[in-house]
Structure 1
Amino acid sequence: MHAPCAYQTRHAAGDALATHRHRTAYAALVLDGDYLEASADGPAECVPGSLILHPRFHAHGDRFGRRGARVINLDLPPGLAPETVTVLRVPALAEAAAVFARGAHELPALVAACAAQPPAPLHDWQRPFLDALRDGDAPIARLARDAGVSLAHASRSFLRSHGMPPQLLRRELRCRRALALLAGDAPLAEIAARSGFADQSHLTRALRGFAGLPPARLRRQIKSVQDGAAPGMRP
């Protein structure tokens, strides 16, 4: 099996990519330009020297700045896939680009030398809104009212900062929770309840849309990685 190869992507000034999902884990290193990555993790300001580690099935949209951007990307084997998206700052851009060119096996050492990049700011009302969205079933309109904003304003704000409106964001967060629980041995009906889905059938439909596979097959994949993969990066 050949080691994953790095590849570059170029984006013109003012370009935008609608929210899309990557089924494989990958790392991205910004070489020049800038863009804003919006996902359920919140906005990430990506500038030269930003290293973004994405887990499998990560969904995000991108808005590119006035100079566009040039990015080097590297698909990650299962043993190096991060558990959550992580945004770091590399100590030396040229050296980091050379690591990408040599292959994923050198990434753990690069990650260990990086510093965490501060998260982009959110509006004060967004964090409690997100907590309520993730953990409860209250209607979106009520959450907006409790936050002191209109439903239209909440939808526009989350579409800009997180790449999706609140209803889709709730489903994304619940699918992520279910995916994490599939690493254990809980019955699927219990996972559905703990993740906020109405029942096991609802969970199955949501995960098919999220990952393209039903929960049982996803669990087998996760267990296979756990049993056979080398320790991954823990930034």
Structure 2
Amino acid sequence: MDKATLRDTVWDELESSGEARFPFPPHGRIPNFADARAAADALAETSEWADADTIKANPDAPQLPARRRALREGKTVYMAVPRLRDERCFYELDPARIDDDALDSAPTVSHVESHAEQVGPDELPRIDLVISGSVVVSEQGARIGKGEGFSDLEYAVLQGLDAVDDGTTVATTVHELQVRDDLPEPDSHDVPMDFVVTPERTVRTATPYPRPPGLDWSALSAERIAEMPVLERLRDERDAE
């Protein structure tokens, strides 16, 4: 089954089963699901979570419980500015600079700008844990997103900035309906998952799939590079070598 068909199948199943949660419909997005908080709590039981001081997380609704828990545990959370459009292309949510009564609202899409500091490439620390949103995943760590490619691109940017490497843990939280065994082989730019966490179980994938080697410049149009200052910077650094 190809990626597009798998996405549609999972979106349909989440909707028809009643397991999808706001925002509706689940189609065309990283779908929110029942008991997403339980999946976040299960992720937080891992040693990799406990050891992480810095977390880069996607901004979508099903991973909001993980972002909230991270802040409440004193971890610094980074979220990408939409489409990496600004020179300071990441939001830094430092719980030491956020009032306790704002810790739940701070990592939401609608409030992050009010509580975060935007940081540029030179201000980004090493990331200990990456949390990704998914539409479909396998127990072997293959992942399919919503089809726009930004999650994998953000990871490649972090690679280019030496903020992540092959030893950085990458995890996703999903509903059981999103875990399937009929995914196609990942493309060369697809980032495999080390953990697939559902409300019912935690899968350490021991993924056989390699991490991407970095930015695939041949797949990036001049227009997309021009839209993202961080890509222009990394391109210029590459050309200067």
Common topology (TM > 0.5) = no
More strand by share: 1
Larger Rg: 1
Alignment TM-score, normalising by the size of structure 2: 0.28
